Amino acid sequence: MSTAAEVSAIPSRTRMRQEIQEQPDALRRTLDALRPAVRELRSVARDCRHVLFIARGSSDNAAVYGQYLCSVRGGRLGTLASPSVATAYRATPDLGGVLVVAVSQSGATDEIVEGMAWARERGARTVAVTNVAGSPLASTADVALVTEAGEERAVPATKTYTTQLTALAVLGLSLSGDDGALRGLDAVPDAVARALDSASAAEEMAARLTYLDRVVVAGRGYASSTALELALKLKEACYVSASGLSYADLLHGPIAVVDPMTPALLVAAGDGPVLPGMTALTARVAAAGAHVYGIGGDEEFARACRSALPGTDLPEHLAPMALIVPGQLLVEALARAKGIDPDRPRGLRKVTQTDARSAT
């Protein structure tokens, strides 16, 4: 339990909150920087039928979004790699015809850099997504998508995460060959700016959740990436035991863990084929005696929740870039309400070690 003195020492204007608010401009800069890469992306992926993502942490959650976008809109099967297959087991699969996308905010994570080098040796074409131009990852990839988030000083990733989503959207929609869909990305920065208006509602929800020690966070389809990232942020910044699950995984057994002291936070886009199932899930979780909180969805989804933060009017395949913002605001507010400084959570640094020689 935090003391009153510890709580009062936490700034009301945290770096995390400042960086959340910087996201619309960061996304505009990133889109401007990456639009010229469309032709090069189409060229490098021309003979590739499969997209394999290599990442860790928040970058891995962003890769889940890329996996869906490449599979549903990009016409290539997207899957997530286990970096240890390359770095620990030294496996030797044939990766001809595979586009490997390595995602790392710093571009210097040894495990990810080594994984991309391994993929090239096995015959893959490579794309790097990083926030650091000239980093080892950017310097050695066939195509480097360098995001323009600027320096991120708070330990929890916010603007570097959303700019990664933007880069992956440029990639996935480039592969689709749909120039109209690429132009649709122009709406994203303004949608993210509107999502910042949920700050007051996030503060109110946070005040109701200070008791929180455990929570299940779930989404489906594109929004499953948002659920995974919110669960990670709740663990990092609020010291909450948060389980990030897909809708389907929650139904297959783990739904038994929700109860009056273990609420569910459900995340949904405002349209798309998975929304009815997410709305039905709210009733099922409530029937288990758990409180249900929501982010996004439509009016029916919001009514089914005990309390809900507004989502976005972006189409489902773009929604995660704005849908994460109310969740980020909730995490930042909940950390302060629990007497935790979200800029400097215990046991974490901006540079994270996977092992003794790796940095994210």
Tell the burial category of 32 from Cβ atoms under 10 Å away from its Cβ (0-12, 13-18, 19+): exposed
DSSP string for 105-139 = SSS--HHHHHHHHHHHHTT-EEEEEES-TTSHHHH
- Give every strand in the sheet of 50-54, ordered side by side: 77-80, 50-54, 98-103, 125-130, 143-146
Kindly give the residue spans of alpha helices, DSSP state H, lying in the chain: 4-8, 15-21, 23-34, 38-44, 57-72, 84-87, 110-121, 136-140, 159-176, 179-183, 188-195, 199-208, 224-238, 247-251, 275-287, 299-304, 320-337
Gap between the Cα atoms of 237 and 243, Å rounded: 14
The sign of the CA dihedral 29, 31, 36, 42 is positive
Q: Which of 159, 235, 338, 350 is catalytic?
A: 350
Gap between the Cα atoms of 243 and 333, Å rounded: 19
CB atoms < 10 A from the CB of 43, how many?
12
Gap between the Cα atoms of 132 and 40, Å rounded: 19
- Nearest residue to 249 (alpha-carbon basis) of 271, 224, 231, 274: 224
3-class SS of residue 293: strand
Region of residue 112 (phi > 0: left; psi between -120 and 50: alpha; otherwise: beta): alpha
Gap between the Cα atoms of 165 and 188, Å rounded: 11
Residue 183 tokens read as: 């132009």
- What backbone phi and psi angles, to 5 degrees, belong to 214? -140, 145
Residue type, 188: V
**Residue 350 known to be catalytic:** yes
CB 49 within 8 A of CB 61: no
Gap between the Cα atoms of 321 and 318, Å rounded: 6
Positions marked active-site: 350
